[in-house]
Amino acid sequence: MKKKNKHSLNGLGISILVIMGVLMVWHVYKKFPDEPFYMRIGEGLLRFGGSLLGSGIVFIAVFLAVYAAIKVSGDIYNRANDGTDETEEDLLNHFSSLSDSVFILCFLVSYAAVYFGW
């Protein structure tokens, strides 16, 4: 049995991405009935790629905001925890452990924005 890497997609994750890509292409295909076939398919694939790119941009913005907040409020956080010895690196490591779920949320927000045309 092949050992799964920590940050690799499983079969469910890959199939969900494929389904979301097909839904995006289908949505765009139905939205522009006057365009040629290849233009509608290309537009759907382009929008799905844009949602992937947009999720990366949103994630980078969220990560930079968290990094800035940790840098600014490191003293406050240490005092609020009754003198525990947590450093800025510990806080960044904690955020990094949550980054998979944050990235999924960023992708869903970006996908919904592209899908609904916000």
What are 12-28's pLDDT values in tens digits? 777 878 888 888 888 88
Angle at Cα 80 formed by Cα 74 and Cα 83, nearest 5°? 85
Phi-psi region at 63: left, alpha or beta (left = phi > 0; alpha = psi -120 to 50): alpha
Would you state the structure tokens that stand for residue 39, as one six-digit string?
């233009």
Band the pLDDT of 87: cuts 50, 70, 90: low
Of 26-30, 33-37, 65-69, 80-84, give the lowest mean pLDDT range.
Answer: 80-84
> What pLDDT is recorded for position 68?
80
Which DSSP string corresponds to 63-106? HHHHHHHHHHHHHHHHHHTTT----HHHHHHHHHHTHHHHHHHH
Q: How large is the average pLDDT for residues 90-100?
A: 73
- Residue 45 scores a pLDDT above 80: yes
